[in-house]
Structure 1
Amino acid sequence: MSTTVNAPSVVPIGCGLLPACSDEARRERLRLSGKLNGIDYVEVGDDGVTLCVHLFGPIPAGIAVANVRVSGGDRITGLRVLSVSEENEPAMHDDVCLRVVLDREGDHSTYCLCLVDAASGNDPAGWIAYPGFDPRYACAALRFRLDCAKDLDCAAETLCVEAPAPLPEINYLAKDYASFRQLFLDRMALDAPAWQERHVPDIGIALVEVLAYTADYLSYYQDAVATEAYLATARRRISVRRHARLVDYRMHEGCNARAFVALSLPAGEVTLDLAEMLLLVPPPAQEDVKAGTITAAELTRARANGALVFEPMPLDGATSITVVAAHSAIHLYTWGNELCCLPRGSTRAVLLDAPPPSVPTTPNAGATAAPSMDVASTATAQRRLKLQVGDLLILEEVLGPATGNPADANSEHRHAVRLTEVLEMVDPLDGSLLLQVSWDVCDALPFDLCLSVRKPSPDCAWLHDVSLARGNVLLVDHGDHVPGQCTCDPICAPPAFIDDTDYPGLSQALAAMPDACMRCDALAENCWLVSGSEQYDCCRCEGAVQDVLRPPTDTGHVLPGTPLTWAEPLPDGPNAPVCRLMVRDPRAALPQLDVYGGALDGVLFKGTPAAQWHWQARQDLLESGPDDRDYVVEIDDDGAAHLRFGDGVLGRQPQAGDFFRARTRLGNGAVGNVGRESIVWLALKSGDQPDGLVPRNPLPASGGTAAETLAEVKLYAPGAFRAHPLRAITADDYAMFAAREPALQGAACTLDWNGSWYEADVVVDPLGRESLPGALARQIKRDLHPYRRIGHDIAVRGACYVPLLIELMVCVLPDFLVAHIQAELIDRFSAGLRRDGTPGFFHPDRLRLGQPVSASALMAEAQAITGVAHVEVITLARMDGGKKGEVPDDGLLDIAATEIAQMDNDPDHPDHGSITFTMGGGR
């Protein structure tokens, strides 16, 4: 048997030989051995066609153009070598290189330059290395245009890249504890198939269940964050509040109730400090309630049993009230007349200050002498009433006008006023000392207040003092400053356990205040220390003092107790009338708590700290500066109050180690709207109870409003910006802005071209009158100017009144007098107030701009009179141009948008409209 030996095959050359290696150790071996030559690297000249080929060894002497081949290229291919020479210029290169000149420049792709045997063909696959050259380094890759030279690294990336691990199979539908537990067990079955323990006490199962619990919590947190991110899906009250604020809608937390409390005293007078007074509604389960004062112990029991507490509101900065016995029941003076009343709309009354001096009777028996005024006795008489401007007064009906029984008095006939003028007078007839009091027109009496009547037969006796005036009146609102308990654990810790890590600077502050723990225990308020850490700012210049920073861990705080009281500030200006004191807007209410915070030595002591440590409650912090001590109160779903302070940009940020104290007030909402005669207890915080002092609220408390619900906010907030427009573009916009004036009951507008630009012609309807005062017109124009569109003029004028011509034919039933029915018709169709005090059919406040007059409404009004059998409209037309007998075909007399119907039926002014009645039937 013979063996055949094959001849050695040719070793292939090229630029992409396998395997691909990142560490080319063969290159260094070739350089050191000197046996074989090869290409080290290739340089491309600036002209793009000159190449400098650097070799490991010397340049072969016989190398020529036929030995240099260039392959590759994408857009430019088939590059040819024009010349080959040895380059010996050390100024251009560090070593000798082979200079190769090509016919043209290549493109951006990679080319391959090889030094081959001249006998090699044109096919790169058959090229053979130049004699004496290593086959693996007979070729070198080159690029004519380098995109990475300026900004990127041209180093070759790692050739052998490990394939990425496959992603684990995860069940993304797992969202709760059970599914996460099963997911972890399935994963462990793949990663550790040998572990098959499934008993609960096993440590592996315990770890799996801990991870499942954590994943379940994170999944819930993820869903909760996504839910609270939108107004429509948010469920937390604080989230909804912040979303609504983004669209300029302020969510309100309700408002407390206000009431008037009258104090009565049997004799003398007493001065009470308003800050020491508490007015209470007894607990619901309280038996045998006796009106009057209660002791401190009874106050504590009443609070614990759920009594509602009201506190006085200081009007115009008042700090005390003087209770005068004569103010408990003040007689309304009738000047000796009978069957008297204070009519509706009254803004003044005369009060009896002191009765007339006694007048001796004449010697004639059986004859009564007319009383005469004794000037000397009048001069020496003492006034009992001490009413002043700004005092509150309650006018109250105390006896039933028909029976004289107090139980029959109309409880709705009670009205509170605030005095604007007090004038002392004397009755010249009998010398009675009088006091004339006046009040604001907006506090005008809303009903007829009876003063004296005659009882029905057979008694027929005169009944006086049917109504009285009550002084000693306080304005109170619902809410109680409940004593709190200060948290003193960090302050009262032993010196060795003082925590300077969480409360920086605490040990130094306590060293300067040895009795800090005693002060803290005596502080009956809610207080806390701000936790945080101490940090040092970087040095900004050589030798500078390093700044010490104390950022807080959390600037929020939750106040104990619910519900927090929200109340509006009192109106600005002195002597605000009752109508302004009792108008409530829950969106303007602010939380009722006093917050002081800062350095421990500036805040921790008995009494009120200095004003520099006081923090103000705001609706938001959008307008607060970095040094403004402002905070926001946010109520959560459980009613707890969260304090949110600034971040150092929007509002001042509390510093770690600061001490805060808050005096909170609790009591809010509609629960404070108690009925009349409910506030019957008075307590003084000092404990000294005056004898005989009895409080009562003749009027019910009002204004208490529940907090806005989340459903209401989600309903109203998206369109809130439309409720407060800032520009008038159309005619309706001008009319809407003008109608905001309280002195108007309607407005209309048209945009008229005046030859150069448009003019907003605003027509207004004043409330309670037909003429437009010039001052009111100027005020409306001035108020409209900020809203007007550029290029629009504004003109304000009164409405055009259209007098009407009306004739009704009325048929009366046989059993009724025609004169009585006609008198009732004239009363109903008057332009003023009817006999019962209601507005007539053609009263100016019942006729609006552009409101048509309906024949059916006229017939219905007349037909409502008892005794009218039939009504027919004979004439319904405008007085200017209309004729008798005209009635619109559809029974509707149209009025233009800038016109108001007028029918005064005044004989002195027949041009203001007239109505006639043609009577038939009756007797």
Structure 2
Amino acid sequence: MSAAGPRVTGLIGCTLPPACSEPKRREQLRLSGALNGIDYVEVGDDGVTLCVHLFGDIPSDVAVANVRISGGDRITGLRVISVHEEHEPDLHDDTCLRVVLDREGDHTPYCLCLVDAASGNDPNSWMAYPGFDPRYACATLRFRLDCAKDADCATASHCVEAPPAPPEINYLAKDYASFRQLFFDRIAIDMPAWRERHVPDIGVALVEAMAYTADHLSYYQDAVATEAYLATARRRISVRRHARLVDYRMHEGCNARALVTLSLPAGEVTFAFDQLLLLVPPAGQTDVHAGAISPAQLEKARAQGALIYAPMPLDGATAITVVAAQSTIRLYTWGDAMCCLPRGSTQAVLVDAPLAVPNEPPASQPSVTDGGKATAAGKNAPVQAAAVATPPQRALRLKPGDLLIFEEVRGPSTGNPADANPAHRHAVRLTAVEEQVDPLNQQRLLQVSWDACDALPFDLCLSTRMPSPDCSWVSDVSVARGNVLLVDHGDYAPGQCRCDALCAPPDAIDNDDYPGLGSALAEVPDACTRCGALREDCWLVPGSTHYTCCRCEGAVQDVLRIADDTGHVLPGSLLTWAEPLPGEANAPVCRLLLRDPRQALPQLDVHGGDLADVLVSDPVDAQWRWDARQDLLESGPDDRHFVVEVDDDAAAHLRFGDGVLGRRPQAGDFFRARQRLGNGTVGNVGRDSIVWLAWSGGEVPPGLVPRNPLPATGGTAAESMAEVKLFAPGAFRARPLRAIIAEDYAAFARQNTQLQGAACALAWNGSWYEADVVVDPLGRETLLPSLARTLAAGLHPYRRIGHDVAVRSAHYVPLLIELHVCVLPDFLQAHVRAQLVDRFRAGLRSDGMPGFFHPDRLQLGQAVYASALMAEAQAITGVAHVDVLTLARMEAGKPGDVPADGVLWLAAAEIAQVDNDPDHPDRGSIAFTLGGGR
């Protein structure tokens, strides 16, 4: 095509309207050959050379005046220097028009046009080169591309459909009424002809149904946002999970524990724990007689709300043998009178049945006598113990691990049982039982011992004398009770078994919701009957069947039974929560009754698996048992664990694992659960309240009477959400996991119950730091090597990397103290001195309280105040005035030294010591100078 082609009039440019996304005219021009035009423009590497490709041939007469360039932002007014035809087949597939510019342009788009030479300089007056299509007489070019190598540089479509206008929504509509009005307003805009508002109309019914659904979704939306934060959560389960995230366990309370004695008039009987229940009669029950009740009376008592307690097996015991001789056991005084077991006692001697000696009546210890003269049967008879060929069997069957309760049964002042102090009752657990015989009267005895943790907290009176004019001797003021059971509150209540799916007709078996149910029922044809006979809660896990893909020809497909919902809500309320018994053997009573509700677990027996394995077996095999846990964070994918979460209505929700944290139940599995009900403070009944016994193992011997001499304790109510929100945010600070500074080591050491104090200092040993932990043992001044090893091993997991740990005993500092005491004129100096010595002793005072310098009253680094010494002495009756003459360290002080501020300061690892022992004067001394008095 030559320049003599037809002239086409009209404006030209790079942005001619309309803007189209499909350039179909380009192909028409290429095929027709009638008009020429610019196809595209290439920019050379130098930035000033352009290669203009045309649809047709390059005109032979095109010159510099025919090539115009417009546009640019920073660089404008580009001029064409030369124009010639390019024939470089190696560079281009076709020939192009080579255009050389005077300089390179900027990043903005430019417009290159082939125009008639007669066109003016104004781009709006340019006309297309003769024979060129006006829409393709110009082409857009860019000297620099803004897109990256990994981006698409294609031009976007110009014709973009405008987004529809959003509907007008009233975001203040949040309830049923506002949503209903909102729907009506919208319908009035979209369907103005429909004006029906009568309730029976189908349209109005649809609007109200949508308003109800919107109201429910709006509430759900608000609830989700509310439950997302601990401070705003209102559901108990949400609060529990939030608290667990910061290592705080929300507890659901725990049940109460009690000690029950079984009294039998004669003989003995053995009770199995799983067949024995102890009861508190229902409230309002009249004419209550202590003793055994029948199964019918048991069911009636359950219906009336009686509190039920079950025995707790100690150290694996499964039964208890009630021996009549252990119902009431006398305490032996070795023939002495006015006796007592002092406070802190850990031993006692019990009277066994008298030794049968030929031709001699059985011996006894003094009892109530006439005129205060003690008599004993067989007192003057000769001792003939050697003549006994075979010693008879002892009546008491006590052994280590048995429980014993000491009880005051008479008033020490009157001898009247009604005056006995009910607070003077104490339970112990025996650690040793030794058989003995009194060589004086051949009385058979048992010496029993118990742990120091169970030491008597009071003086237990054994025998006393009546005031004048009676002056008679009274023995057996206190006795011991054997046949003691540890029981806890809670009763296994019958459940509600859901048997609808198992009792469906054969043609109505639901294999879609319960995969494999048809084949399972074929194996257990009497499943409906067995299910109806269960007195437990049971359910089937719903779900669906999924098949894996075919990996190869002839491969066996895996069938997965995925459960839709593995959770379950137990019927009833007040599920029992109880802590496991201490793991140590022969744990003392103080440990048995020590409660921590955060360690309590739900009392729930859950078994789940295939229908044939769980429903048929009774009892169910242990391999199908699921165990309760506090959480599933440490559970493996095959661990049969579950968590119980209690909601605001006290209903228990079972949550199983997801296949990663805990095993996930499969669809179609059959579960059965036996739950125990009874929890909280309601079980904390008073003494002598548990008076009924129910035994399903046979007939109970007549005269058997249960009784709890001590009140039930430990029952704790569930923790409230307000308490959790208050304490949970700081819970992670309350339990440090690593010792960083010296005080951290001391804090970890103080967690040991055998210590009353600890201090620590970081000492540089030349290579690294050593944590020197100084401890103060409880009740003693020496550190046992075994305790030191235990403490070091306990601190090792907490030590900081690069620190060594050493446990040492505290440094005891003997003191030299001298007090001048002025006695009132009406008091004897000797009496006042005796009281001073008693109060300032290093052991227990005469009243059982620790003395001023008792090791348990002196702490690490505790200073000794002169004012405290004066106050202690001034508290004695008959003391008028006290002066501190000497208060100094024994190794460096001398008589007359008193600190100027009245305070004798000690280092953090030091403890004051004033034993005032004449055999060990190096352990500190205190002297009293008395004046006045008589």
Q: How does the TM-score come out when normalised to structure 2?
A: 0.91
- Shift in Å, 1:276: 0.6
Structure 2: stretches of 5+ with no match in the other structure: 1-6, 362-376
Deviates more, 1:186-195 or 1:541-550: 186-195
Paired residue for 1:810?
Answer: 821
SS in 2 for 1:317: coil
The residue number in structure 1 matching 2:879 is 868
Instruction: Give the match for residue 18 of structure 1.
Output: 17
Q: Output the CA distance in 2 between the equivalents of 1:693 and 1:93.
A: 116
- Residue 279 of structure 1: CA displacement? 0.7
Check the 8 A contact 1:87/1:99 in 2, yes or no. no
Separation in structure 2 between the aligned mates of residue 445 and residue 368 of structure 1, nearest angstrom? 33
Counterpart residue number, 1:261: 260
Q: 1:199 to 1:119 in 2, by over 3 A?
A: same
Q: Secondary structure at the match of 1:601?
A: helix
8 Å contact kept, 1:378–1:431: no
Taking the aligned partners of 2:138 and 2:805, their CA distance within structure 1 comes to 91
Residue 553, structure 1, aligned to residue 564, structure 2: yes
Distance in structure 2 (CA, Å) of the matches to 1:847 and 1:60 = 115
* 8 Å contact from structure 2 (residues 64, 80) kept in 1: no
Aligned counterpart, 1:319: 318
Q: CA-to-partner distance for each residue in 1:68-126, whole Å, 9 max, x for gaps?
A: 4444445555252633337595x8777x6543343476555434333332333443333
Taking the aligned partners of 2:423 and 2:132, their CA distance within structure 1 comes to: 122
Per the alignment, in what secondary structure is the counterpart of residue 435 of structure 1? strand
Structure 2 CA distance, aligned partners of 1:158 and 1:336? 116
**Segment drifting more, 742-751 vs 247-256:** 742-751
Aligned counterpart, 2:741: 730
Q: Which residue of 2 aligns with 1:277?
A: 276
Candidates 913, 916, 922, aligned match of 2:924: 913
Alignment of 1:724-763 (within 5 A): 724-763=735-774
3-state SS, counterpart of residue 531 of structure 2? helix
Does the 8 Å CA contact 2:8/2:133 hold for their aligned counterparts? no
For 2:796 and 2:749, the matched residues in 1 are separated by 11
* Alpha-carbon distance in 2 for matches of 1:651, 1:9: 82
Letter in 2 for 1:694: V
Superposition deviation, residue 272 in structure 1: 1.3
Seen in structure 2, the aligned counterparts of structure 1 residues 752 and 35 have a Cα distance that, compared at 3 Å, is closer
Q: Distance in 2 between matches of 1:881 and 1:65?
A: 116
- Percent of aligned pairs sharing the same letter: 73
- For residues 474 and 368 of structure 1, the distance between their equivalents in structure 2, rounded to whole angstroms, comes to 38
Residues 190-205 of structure 1: pairs in structure 2 closer than 5 A:
190-193=189-192, 195=194, 200-201=199-200, 203-205=202-204
Relative to structure 2, which stretch is displaced further, 212-221 or 466-475? Answer: 212-221
Question: For the residues of structure 1 that align with 2:817 and 2:508, how far apart are their CA atoms?
Answer: 95
Q: Provide closer, same or farther for how the CA distance between residues 384 and 198 of structure 1 changes in structure 2, counting only shifts above 3 A.
A: same
User: Does the Cα contact within 8 Å between 1:237 and 1:710 map onto a contact in 2?
Assistant: yes
Q: CA deviation at 1:607?
A: 1.4
Distance change in 2, residues 1:35/1:776 (3 Å): closer
Q: Counterparts of 2:652 and 2:664 in 1: how far apart (Å)?
A: 19
Counterpart amino acid of residue 572 in structure 2: G
After TM superposition, give the deviation of residue 901 of structure 1 in Å: 2.1
Tell me which amino acid in the other structure corresponds to 1:349. A
Between 527-536 and 17-26, report the one with greater CA deviation: 17-26
Shift of 1:753: 3.9
1-structure distance, mates of 2:28, 2:677? 91
Kept after mapping to 1: 8 A contact 2:8/2:128: no
Structure 1 residues 814 and 64: alpha-carbon distance in aligned structure 2, compared to 1, 3 A threshold:
closer
| Residue pairs, 1:275-674, within 5 angstroms | 275-357=274-356, 360=359, 369-377=380-388, 379-674=390-685
Partner in structure 2 of residue 159 of structure 1: 158
1:650-707 deviation per Cα after TM superposition (whole angstroms, max 9, x unaligned): 1111111111111111111122111111111111235643432211111111121221
Q: Is the 8 A contact 1:361 1:369 kept in 2?
A: no
Distance 1:386 1:59, change over 3 A: same
| RMSD of Structure 2 on Structure 1 (CA) | 3.0
1:99 lines up with 2:110 in the alignment: no
Q: Tell me the alpha carbon deviations over residues 171-217 of structure 1, each in whole angstroms, 9 at most, x when there is no partner.
A: 33333344444444444454445555555555555444444433333
Q: 1:723 deviation in Å?
A: 1.9
Cα shift readout 1:33-60 (whole Å, capped 9, x = no counterpart) = 5544434455667777666655555554
Does the 8 A contact of 2:53 with 2:97 survive in 1?
Answer: no
Q: Which amino acid aligns with 1:543?
A: G
For these two proteins, the number of residue pairs brought into alignment is 911
Higher mean Cα deviation, 694-703 or 134-143? 134-143
2:562 counterpart SS class = coil
* Matched-pair contact (CA < 8 Å) for 2:29–2:55: yes
Q: Shift of residue 591 of structure 1?
A: 1.0
User: Which of 844, 860, 874 is equivalent to 2:855?
Assistant: 844
Q: Which runs of 5+ in 1 are unaligned?
A: 1-7
371 and 469 in structure 1: CA distance in 2 versus 1, 3 angstrom threshold:
farther
Measure, in 1, the Cα distance between the counterparts of 2:530 and 2:469: 75
User: 1:459/1:15 Cα in 2 relative to 1: closer, same or farther (>3 Å)?
Assistant: same
Answer yes or no: is the 8 Å Cα contact 2:9–2:128 preserved in 1: no
Superposition deviation, residue 586 in structure 1 = 1.4
One-letter identity of the residue aligned with 1:134: D
Matched residues in 1 for 2:148 and 2:343: separation?
Answer: 98
Superposition pairs for residues 74-153 of structure 1, below 5 Å?
74=73, 78-80=78-80, 82-85=82-85, 97-103=95-101, 108-143=107-142, 151-153=150-152
User: CA offsets per residue over residues 820-857 of structure 1, 9 Å max, x none?
Assistant: 22222221222211111111122121111222223332
Match of 1:220 in 2: 219
> Against the structure 1 CA distance between its residues 648 and 790, is the aligned structure 2 distance closer, same or farther, given a 3 Å change threshold?
closer
Cα 1:542/1:148, change in 2 over 3 Å: farther
Measure, in 2, the Cα distance between the counterparts of 1:798 and 1:129.
108
Deviation, 1:402, is 2.3
749-758 vs 855-864, greater mean Cα deviation: 749-758
Amino acid in structure 2 at the alignment position of 1:330 = I
- Greater mean deviation of Cα atoms: 516-525 or 254-263: 254-263
Residues 542 and 563 in structure 2, CA contact (< 8 A), matched pair in contact too: yes
Q: Which runs of structure 2 are paired with 1:776-787 in the superposition (5 Å)?
A: 776-787=787-798
Q: Is the 8 A contact 2:8 2:131 kept in 1?
A: no
Structure-2 separation of matches of 1:464 and 1:358: 24
CA contact (8 A) 1:344 1:446 kept: yes
SS in 2 for 1:533: strand
SS at match of 1:83: strand
Change beyond 3 A, Cα 1:798–1:56 = closer
- Classify 1:43/1:297 alpha carbon distance in 2 versus 1 (closer, same or farther; 3 Å): same
Q: Which residue of 1 aligns with 2:723?
A: 712
Higher mean displacement: 685-694 or 260-269: 685-694
Partners of 1:766 and 1:394 lie apart in 2 by 29
Cα drift, residue 282 of structure 1? 0.9
Q: 1:407 deviation in Å?
A: 1.6
Q: Which residue identity does 1:82 align to in structure 2?
A: S
Q: TM-score, normalised by structure 1?
A: 0.92
CA deviation after TM superposition for structure 1 residue 372, in Å: 1.6
Deviations 1:365-424 (CA, angstroms, capped at 9, x unpaired): x99743322433462423222222222222222222222222222222222222222233
Tell me the distance in 1 between the aligned counterparts of 2:421 and 2:617: 50
**Structure 2 Cα separation of the partners of residues 465 and 367 of structure 1:** 20
Preserved CA contact (<8 Å) 2:491 2:677: yes
Answer whether contact 2:360 2:381 (CA < 8 A) is retained.
no
Q: Which residue of 2 aligns with 1:5?
A: none
What do residues 353-374 of structure 1 show as CA deviations (whole Å, max 9, x unaligned)?
2213366489xxx997433224
Is the contact made by 1:81 and 1:100 (CA closer than 8 Å) also made in structure 2?
no
CA gap of 1:148–1:420, structure 2 versus 1, over 3 A, is same
Mapped to 2, the partners of 1:367 and 1:710 lie a distance apart of 70
User: Match of 1:832?
Assistant: 843
SS of equivalent to 1:102? strand
